[in-house]
Structure 1
Amino acid sequence: MRSIMLAATALLAITATAAAGEEKPLAYEKPQIPEDHESLIASDDPQLAANKRLVYDMYRIVLQAGLADRAHEYIAVDYVQHNPNAAQGLDGLIDYVRSTRPERPIKDKLELPLIHLMAEGDYVTTAFVRPEKDAEGRTYYATWFDLYRIEDGKIAEHWDPMLKSDPKIDPNDRQI
C-alpha cells in the first residue's frame, strides 16, 4: 500500500509540475536537423539511392524552386495524387505548384528542415519539421510526412496528411 501511495504522490507531483507550466513539452523544443543531406540520400542499394535522389531532386527543383515546367522530369503523366486539394495526373501537380508558390532559384540542398529520407522497395518517405503556432502564439514543431511510389524511374503516386479542409500551402514558408 505504501508503494502505491508513493507512486500516486509522484504522479500528482509530475502532473502539477506540468500543469504549472514548469515542464515544456518536447514539441516546443527546436529539433536537431541533419545538415548532411547526401548521407540521407545514400544507400548500399543503388536502386534505393536512385529512388531517394529522384524524390529529393523533385522536391528541390519542382516543389522548393517552384519550377512546375520541370515536373515532367520527375512525375509520371498518370500520377496518382492522394492529397484531396490537388488534381490527378502530371497536369494536376503542375497546376497545384503554380497556384501555391512562386518560382525561385534552384538551391543545391533542400531548405526545408528535412529530418529523414527513407526508401524501401518502390517507396520513398520524406519527413520534415514544420514550425506551427499554438493558440497563445508560441512556436511548436510538428512533423510532415510525404510518401511517394516510384514506377519506371518516375514518381507515380503520392500521399500526405493534407485534409480537404486545409488551405493550399507553400511548405517553403514553413522553415525554421
Structure 2
Amino acid sequence: MSIRRLIAVSILPLAGLLSACTQAPVSPQGTVGASSSTRAEANKRNALAFYDAFFNRHDLTAAQRYVAPGYIQHNPRVASGRDAFVNAFTQIFARYPQRRSTVHKAIADGDLVALHVHTVTGPDDRGMAIVDIFRFDGDGKIVEHWDVMQPVPESTASGNGMFD
C-alpha cells in the first residue's frame, strides 16, 4: 500500500469510530495467528479510543484501561509511569478545562501507532500540532510514548495548513 493511500484511509470519521471503541482495550492478539495488520488495527482503535476518552472527555480513568502501569514516557515534561502521567494531566485539565484534541490522521504499523493531532486549550487558542507515537504491548495497552509538538502558525510560507 502506498503511503498516500495509507494516509488517505487513515483520516478518520471520528464520530462513529471513537464512540464505538471507548469501552475497553481491544486485544491485538485476536485469534491464533492473527496478522500483523490485525494487531496494528486493534492498536490504532485503542489509541483513538484512549485519546478521545482521556484528552477530550478528560476521563482520567481511561489511563487504567489503556495505559500499562510501567508506561515509559519520552516527553521531557512528564515523568514515566501511568500514575505520573495521570497526575500531570490532572493539573493540565484543571488549568485548561476546555482543552480538546482533534485527530486528523492515524497510522498503525505493528505495535506502533502515530496520531497527527490538533490540540487547543480553548476557543481562542490556535493550538499545537502534535504527532504522538505510541508503542503497544500484546494486550493492547500503551507501554511507551514519544511526541513532537509545534505551535500552529497564523500562516505558512507554502500556503498549506498544518492539517490539510
The answer on whether the counterparts of 2:67 and 2:142 sit within 8 Å (CA) in structure 1 is: yes
Where do 1:1-176 residues align within 5 Å? 36-37=13-14, 38=17, 45-102=37-94, 112-129=101-118, 143-152=129-138, 153-161=140-148
| 1:45 shift after superposition | 2.8
Q: 5+ unaligned residues in a row in structure 1: which ranges?
A: 1-33, 105-110, 132-138, 164-176
Secondary structure of 2:133's partner? Answer: strand
User: CA separation in 2, counterparts of 1:162 and 1:85?
Assistant: 12
Greater radius of gyration (CA): 1
State the 1:70 CA deviation.
2.9
TM (norm. structure 1) is 0.55
Deviations 1:44-80 (A, max 9, x none): 9321111011111111111221121331100000000
Cα displacement string for residues 90-134 of structure 1 (whole angstroms, at most 9, x for unaligned residues):
111110121111498xxxxxx633221000010000002357xxx
- Name the CA distance, whole Å, in 2 between partners of 1:140 and 1:94: 25
- Is the deviation greater in 117-126 or in 91-100? 91-100
Q: Distance in 1 between matches of 2:84 and 2:149?
A: 16
Paired residue total? 115
Distance 1:130 1:63 in 2: 9
Take 1:93 and 1:143, find their aligned partners in 2: how far apart are those partners?
20
TM-score normalised by L of structure 2: 0.59
Identify unmatched segments of 5+ residues in structure 2. 1-10, 22-35, 151-164
Change (3 A) 1:81 1:49: same
Measured against aligned partners, the alpha-carbon deviations of 1:10-61 in whole angstroms (never above 9, x if no partner) come to xxxxxxxxxxxxxxxxxxxxxxxx56134xx9xx932111101111111111
Percent sequence identity over aligned pairs: 27
- How much does 1:142 deviate? 6.1
* 1:135-161 Cα deviation digits (max 9, x unpaired): xxxx97863100000013100000112
Q: Which amino acid aligns with 1:159?
A: W
Matches of 2:113 and 2:107 in 1, distance apart? 6
- Aligned equivalents of 1:95 and 1:130: distance in 2? 19
CA distance in 2, matches of 1:58, 1:75: 9
